[in-house]
Each structure stands twice: as structure tokens, then as C-alpha cells.
Chain A
Amino acid sequence: MSTMAEDGFASHKRDPVKSSVGGVASQKRRQHAVAVRKERRESLVRAKRLCRVGSSGDDADTPLNNAMMVDEEESVLDAQAAAAVEELKSAVANQGKGAMQKVVGALRELRRVLSRTEFPPIEAALEAGAMPLLVHCLAFGSPDEQLLEAAWCLTNIAAGKPEETKALVPALPLLIAHLGEKSSSPVAEQCAWALGNVAGEGEELRNVLLSQGVLLPLARMMLPSKGSTVRTAAWALSNLIKGPDPKAATNLIRVDGILDAITRHLRKADEELATEVAWITVYLSALSNLATAMLVKSNVHELLLHRLATSTSLQLLIPLLRSLGNLVAGDSQTTSAIFMPGQEITGKCDNKYNIIGVLTKCLKSEHRVLKKEAAWVLSNVAAGSVEHKQLIYKSEAVIPLLLHLLSTAAFDVRKEVAYTIGNLCVAAASEQDSGRLSLILDHLVFLVEKGCLPGFIDLIRSADTEAAKLGLQFMEMVLRGMPNGEGPKLVEREDGIEAMERFQFHENEDLRNMANGLVDRYFGEDYGLDR
């Protein structure tokens, strides 16, 4: 098939030697571009954050935004880094007059090189010997400016790859020491930032920091009511307590004044600070039973609900929702404390401040993460008592929304919605006696009549085992429970039989047996004969 473009190319003469050389260079460029893109992706999703603008904002140096650096630019930066480290080395060695100013000046230059781009020349700086120098510059009694610049350099080194973050180990005790109340605020904040990056690297480094006593001084930095220092400290703490070891979370909630600070910030702070504090409650509620109990006792769930109802910032909504979800997913004691009988159940169902109202708002959001996690929380509410199921069922807004999402939303959202709808249709007879299950026919019939069946059959066809199992389980309830033997007819009409027959050749034996069992039982030889 000849195209215009091809005709155009026909007139070019190709020099075979030239094109092969060009091929190698362009291939190298492409490989480099792919590597940079991958590195960029990794750096974007890391729990570490580069510091590119000082908190005082006085620095005239505006950072550049070139995400795709070419080889030459990289090597220029590397050279600059090495040169800056050399400067610093000689400044530190110098004992004469004005030595301190020289040191600060050299540090500032190194800091600028490390803040200029998205991918600072960390490796080059480390290789030139930056670390021992920076540790030296953190010595007690050093002027604030020096401490600040040194901590800033360390922050950006720690924001890099794992081995680069690990290079900070010799500096950690000093960074922690400068968190103390005697330090100036900007210095403490910059040290907290560096430590937050280290904590964001992984469990090993988190444990090192915790054993060196970072928790208490950092927690104290969260007590004031406002300021960028509070926010940075809160973020660093969230990285520190994320586990999987629950010890740090439990120790944090024990710090004097912390619970009060958390609730205070959740109630009153601006959205940026509230966001970081909300992430702290995410980890507290996920990892520590003690923290969860204390939070619930302080009515933190009310604060979460209120903030969820009123905020529109996605950054804030995510951790608020997840904290709520962790609380709802907890043990029954916690859950019943959240659902205070008087308010939640007899009150108006569609009140925007109650849990159903808040979850409805999140389900309506355009953001996939919010929809998915809201559906997850709702599914856990639906897994509760019959009263809880009725709360959802009677809400005018939620049911149509769930049905709509089941057929139109992204896969991970649909799965959670399926859990919710299915949970609405069946009840465990009692908490202790979970062996006995009872179908709630009202709900099942209504939801099937409203057209939820195709959505479940779609899940049966999915390649995801968990989703396929959900679909089959819902199918079973329909086949067994729909009155007047309507179940099989409904399933057949929606091509449910075909969907189940696929499993004959499925590699998963459980699913195969489930599907075959249903087809055998409900679409056997007698099917179709009895009217």
C-alpha cells in the first residue's frame, strides 16, 4: 500500500555507513530516554521529596524544570557538583579569617547544584566525598546558616535512590539532635525534611531512626498550631510510623499532647497541614489498636466525616477517607462506636454529614481512587448488621449510584461496588454464628430488578480470580433465591450460562467446580421443561 509519505522517502539517498552510525547514536538516545523516563516515574512515586525552594523563599535561584535531561547537561551538572564539593573541602580545611563565611558560601553553592533540577547530581557529589564534609558541617555550635545549608544538601541527597539515601547514615544522630527545641525553626524543619526522606526509604532505615530516638523530638514539633515546620514534621512522622511494625504508631499516640494536636489539626488546620495529619491517622488506625481506641474515644471519626463532607481537595480527601475506612474495617467494638445508634440510624439517611452521605459524595467524585476506596468502605458498612444494610438500602442517592458504577466504572471500582451490592443481599445470622447465612430477599429482588445482574456476569468473565468468584457467588444467590424460579431464566437472558461455561477450560479448579456446579444444578437436563 503506497502512501504519500512513502513516495516522499523514495527520493532520499541513503548512505549505508552513515545510517548505521546514526542508528547506534539514536538507539543510545532512545535507551537513555527510556531509562530517564523510568527513573522519573520511580522518583515521582517515591515517598521522598526534593527541597528545591527554601522556606524563607529568599533565594533568587529559580529551579529549572527539565525532566528529560540529555547526556551533556547531566555531565555538566556532575562536574559542577564535584567542583562544589572540592570548594567545600578546601573551605573546611581553611582555618584562617573568614573561614566560616567561606564554608557557608561553599555549602550554598553545593546546595544550589543539588536543587537545580529534578535529578540532582547526587552520585557525583557523593563520589567527590560530600558526606563526611556535610557531617562535619552539622557540628554543634555551628551557625544557623551553616546548619541550614548542610541539612538542605542532605535532604536532596536523601531524596534519591536507595543507596544514596543510605549514605546519610553517619549524619542521622546529628540531624536528630538538631530537632531539639533549642534549634531555630528553619534549621529544625530542614532536618525534619531530611529525616522524612530517610524514613521514606524503607523499614530498615526507619528502625535505625527510631532506635536513635527520633520520635519524641519530631512529635513535639507537631504541637504548635501552625507553620510550615508543623507540616514538615507531620509528613516526616507519617513516613516514620508507616510500619509494617506497629510499634512506632503505638509509641506516637503515647506522646504527651499528640492526640490533642492531631484532633486539633484535623478540626482547624488548613488543608495542607490537615492532609499530612490525616496520613498520620491512616497509619495509626491501620496499625495500632491502642491508637485506634484512643482516636475513636476522642471522636475523631466525627472530625473525619465533617472534613470529608466539606473539603474538595483530593489530596486531603484520600487520607481522610482511608482513615475512616480503617476504622470501619476494624473490630466490631470500634465499628459500633462509630455507628452510634441514635444518630445514624433513625436520623435522615441522606444527611451529608453522616457516613452514607460522605461516601456518596466520594462515589460521585471523578477520581478513581476516591470511588474505589469509598466503595470499599461502603462494602464494609454493608457487611455489618441488618440495620446497617438498611441504612444503605434506604438511601435514595446511593443505590442508583452503585448500580451505575457497577456497569460503567473502572474495574477496580466495579469490584468494590460488587462487594457492596452482594453484602446488601445476605446477612450472617449473628456475629458469632457466621456459619448461617440468610438471604435478604427484598434487597436481592430489588437490586436484580434494577439491573445489577449484567455487571456481575461481566465480573465472571474477567481474568481476575477474585472478581470471577464474586460474580459466581452472586449468581448462586440469584439462582437460589429469586422467587418463582425466576433466577435461572434471568441468568440465561443475560448470557450467564455462556459466561459460566467458559470455566470448563479455566485453569483454576475452584472456579471450575463452582461454575460447573451451578450449571449442573440449575441448568441440568430438566431445565426448560417446567414452566
Chain B
Amino acid sequence: MAMMVLDVDPKADSGFPCWNPVRRRFAPESPFFESGNIERELLAKQIALDLGEEEKHQLWRLLDEDCKDLFCPIVGCRARLTSLENFENHYNSQHAAACSVCYKVYPTSRLLSIHISEAHDSFFQAKVARGYPMYECLVEGCGLKFKSYKSRQRHLVDKHNFPSSYDFFKNKASHHPSKKAREKKIHRKQAATTDRREETEEEEEGTTSQKMDVEGEASVDSLTSALSNLTTGSTPSSVSFGRRNPRGLTFVPRSVHQRNTKKPEDSTPPP
């Protein structure tokens, strides 16, 4: 029976560690076997101690928590996780701040607001062009500002030991514009000079455009309250976005202009 097989030499492929099917062996005292060992002892004592099922469940829950040394792996978070299942909730409530313009997701509202300024704010770009140091250091509390993206990046690597792969505001392929956006981008590239700003995204046609209308008419109140949350630097838990709903209620500073204002379903009503 013929089976299609694709021959690949994993090392040649840009260093990605491809899946390698190997047998895995564990020593008897390995943590892998811990739950089985515990179950053994509980079962052995169960009858003698009249251990009910409910009690066993409680016991398991406590034992699971006891040996949990799990911390959130997002840089700078260090929150202790009570369980692996809870990580998703934690992530969605603390690390899923999404940009309404280009749908990029950031782990803190501070980084999101920095992104919005740097990528979607013409006012910001104007100041940069005039030589003001506008690019903030990403480390909270550092306070330094730089005149270019590159010099900020250098600062992060030199002074804060960021590895050079920490390119937070990376332009290429950091999000997936729709096919239409890509087509437009190629077209625009041919016409204009390149700049560092992220392209704004075309709305996807169809039913989603109606959603945008409703959300576009967000009340001024909620926008300003969201905005004030931004400036105080607290993590606004009320303004949290599930990753499944990138077009949810978002805060957009008034100075943001959509690049392509042709479509009527833009999210920001003019001030």
C-alpha cells in the first residue's frame, strides 16, 4: 500500500526543531508517574479509612494545588497560576489588549497605547519628523525617549538586555491583513516610499461591516473613561478583549485617523 511520504532534512529548514518521533522513558520517581503513585497509595488506604469518593476528589484538588509552581510565561507578568486551565482566563483578562485599527494584540495596555501612538497616530509621526524624541523605552519606569525606532531598539538591547529577537512592533507579518489589504499594500508600495507605520486594515466586507457601525457609535463617555484608564496606566479590566472578538469595544484616541476613509464603516466617527 503506497503511502505518500515527504522527505525533509529538518536541520536545513531555518533551524526549526521539527517533530521527532522518539520513545520516551521515565524513571520510577519521575514526576510523570506521581499521580499514579498517589492513586496507588490512596486506593490501598481507601477501604481501611473509609475514604469516600467526594473526599478523594477534594484530596486530589488539594494535592494538585500543593505542587503547582506555575507562573504566567508572558514577559514581566510573573503572576502565579493556580492551574493550567486558569491560564486561559488569566491571559484573556490581563494580556489581550487589542488594537482596534490593526487588531494586533498586546500583553499590557501600556504597550498597546505605545503601539497605537507609534503606528496609527499622524500627530506622533509629525513630531518625529520634527526631531522630537517620541519613541519611549518599553521598560516601565525607565522614562527615556528616542528619536527613532532603531535607536530605541538599540537602547533596549544595550541597557535592558533585551535579546534582539524582541521586536515588539515588528512590521512584517506580525498580523495577517486580509487579502484585500495585501493587494492594496503592494499597490501602494509601488507608488509611495516605505515608511515604518503599520498599514491600517481594510474592513472585511459583509456582515462584519454592520457590527462596526454599532461599535463605532460607542458613547463618548465610555471612550473618555477608557482613555483616562489608559493615561493612569492601570490595567483596565473592564476594557478587556477576548482574542476571539478583535472587533469588540475598543478605545481609540481621538487623534487617530483612519488612513482609508473611503469606506463608510470606519470605526472612528470624526470628533
Chain A interface (Cβ < 8 Å from any Cβ of B): 37, 41, 44-47, 49-50, 52-53, 65, 67, 118, 242-244, 279, 282-283, 286-287, 314-315, 318-319, 322, 326, 328-330, 335, 367-369, 372-373, 376, 379-380, 382-384, 386, 411-412, 419, 422-423, 425-429, 434-442, 461-465, 469, 473-474, 476-477, 480-481, 492, 495, 497-498, 501-502, 504-510, 512-514, 516-521, 523-529
Q: Given A501-B174, A528-B179 in contact, is the A465-B165 Cβ separation under 8 Å?
A: no
Assess whether B28 is in contact with A463, with CB atoms less than 8 Å apart: no
Number of A-B contacts (CB under 8 A): 229
In the assembled complex, how far is the CB of residue A302 from the closest CB belonging to chain B, in whole angstroms? 21
Q: Are B23 and A329 in contact (CB under 8 A)?
A: yes
B190 to chain A, nearest CB (A): 14
Provide the bound-state CA to CA distance between A523 and B182, in Å. 11
Inter-chain CA distance A118–B85, complex, in Å, is: 34
Chain B 175-196, CB within 8 Å of chain A: the 1/0 string?
A: 1111100110110000000000
How far is the CB of B59 from the nearest CB of chain A, in Å? 6
Q: Are A49 and B107 in contact (CB under 8 A)?
A: no
- A111–B43 alpha-carbon span in the complex (Å): 25
Inter-chain contact B44/A438, CB cutoff 8 Å? no
Contacts A45-B41, A328-B23 supplied; 15 other A-B pairs, CB < 8 Å? A44-B59, A244-B28, A282-B28, A286-B28, A367-B39, A436-B7, A439-B5, A473-B18, A477-B19, A481-B6, A501-B174, A513-B165, A520-B173, A528-B176, A529-B179
The answer to whether B19 and A435 have CB atoms under 8 Å apart is no
For the complex formed, measure the closest distance between the CB of B53 and the CB atoms of chain A, giving whole angstroms. Answer: 12
Task: For A495, give its contact among B33, B72, B85, B244 (CB under 8 Å).
Answer: B244
* B25 CB contact (under 8 Å) in A329, A373, A474, A523: A329
Structural contact, A441 and B5, CB atoms closer than 8 A: yes
Q: Which residue on chain B has the smallest CB distance to residue A37?
A: B62
A513: chain B residues within 8 A (beta carbon): 15, 165
> Hey, which chain B residues are within 8 Å of A383, CB to CB?
21-24
Q: Name the contact of B49 in the complex, choosing from A67, A382, A518, A525 (C-beta under 8 A).
A: A67
A49: contacting residue among B16, B44, B91, CB under 8 A: B44
Q: Contact partner of B43 among A118, A314, A518, CB < 8 A?
A: A314
B182 (CB) vs chain A CBs: closest residue: A528
Find out whether the CB atom of B176 lies under 8 angstroms from the CB atom of A527. yes
B145 neighbours in A (Cβ, 8 Å): none
Q: How far is the CB of A18 from chain B (nearest CB, A)?
A: 33
Given A379-B24, A505-B107: A525 and B41 interface contact (C-beta under 8 Å): no
A318 and B21 form a contact (CB under 8 A): no
What CA separation (Å) do A492 and B182 show in the bound complex?
16
Residues on A with beta carbons closer than 8 Å to the beta carbon of B223: none
Contact A476 B38 (CB under 8 A): no
Q: A463-B73, A509-B163 are in contact. Are A428 and B20 (CB under 8 A)?
A: yes
**Residues in chain A near residue B167, CB distance under 8 A:** 504
Give chain A residues whose Cβ lies under 8 Å from the Cβ of B15.
Answer: 513, 517
Give CA–CA (A521, B59) in the complex, Å.
47
How far is it, in angstroms, between the C-alpha of A437 and the C-alpha of B11 when the chains are bound?
10
Size band of the B side of the interface? 35 or more
Q: Which of A44, A330, A435, A516 contacts B45 (CB 8 A)?
A: A44
Q: Are A521 and B24 in contact (CB under 8 A)?
A: no
Known: A438-B8, A462-B84, A523-B176. A41 touches B62 (CB 8 A): yes
* Given contacts A329-B25, A498-B243, A525-B173, A465 and B73 within 8 Å (CB-CB): yes
Quick check: A529 and B40 within 8 Å, CB to CB? no
CB <8 Å contact, A527 and B182: yes
Within 8 Å by CB of A243, from B29, B35, B50, lies B29
The residues of A that contact B105 with a CB separation of less than 8 Å are 498, 501-502
Report how far A298 CA is from B253 CA in the complex, Å. 76
In the bound assembly, the distance between CA atoms of A319 and B43 in angstroms comes to: 13
Residues of A contacting B186 in the complex (Cβ-Cβ under 8 angstroms): 529
By Cβ-Cβ distance, the 3 closest A-B pairs, closest first, are: A441-B4, A329-B25, A423-B21
Q: How far is the CA of A434 from the CA of B20 in the complex (A)?
A: 8
Chain B positions 49 through 85: 1 when the CB is less than 8 Å from some CB of chain A, otherwise 0:
1110000000100110010001111110000010011
Secondary structure class of chain A's binding surface, majority of residues: helix
Task: List residues of chain A with CB within 8 A of the CB of B29.
Answer: 242-244
Complex Cα spacing A189 to B29, Å:
27
B87 within 8 A of A: yes
Given contacts A49-B45, A438-B7, A527-B182, contact A380 B40 (CB under 8 A): no
B19 touches A425 (CB 8 A): yes
> Which of A326, A335, A507 has the largest number of chain B CB atoms within 10 A?
A507
Contact B35 A463 (CB under 8 A): no
Which residue among A373, A437, A518 has the maximum number of chain B CB atoms within 10 Å of its CB?
Answer: A437
Nearest CB on B from A473, distance (A): 4
A318 cross-chain contacts in B, Cβ below 8 A: 36, 39-40
A380 touches B75 (CB 8 A): no
CA distance A376 to B36 in the complex (A): 13
- Counting CB contacts under 8 A, is B142 at the interface? no
Least distance between A77 CB and chain B CB atoms (Å): 17
For A368, the chain B residues whose CB sits under 8 A away are 35
B41 adjacent to A44 (CB under 8 Å): yes
Alpha-carbon distance A518/B17, docked complex (angstroms): 11
Contact present for B41 and A369 (CB under 8 Å): no
Kindly identify which residue among B27, B41, B73, B84 contacts A508, using a CB–CB cutoff of 8 Å: B73
CB pair A435 B10 closer than 8 Å: yes
With both chains docked as a complex, state the minimum distance between the C-beta of B92 and any C-beta of chain A, in angstroms: 10
Q: Is B161 close to A, CB under 8 A?
A: no
Q: Which residues of B contact A520 (CB under 8 A)?
A: 172-173
Residues of A within 8 A of B11 (CB): 435
Distance in angstroms between the alpha carbons of A273 and B252 in the assembled complex: 70
Residues of A within 8 A of B42 (CB): 44-45
Say if the beta carbon of B132 comes within 8 Å of chain A. no
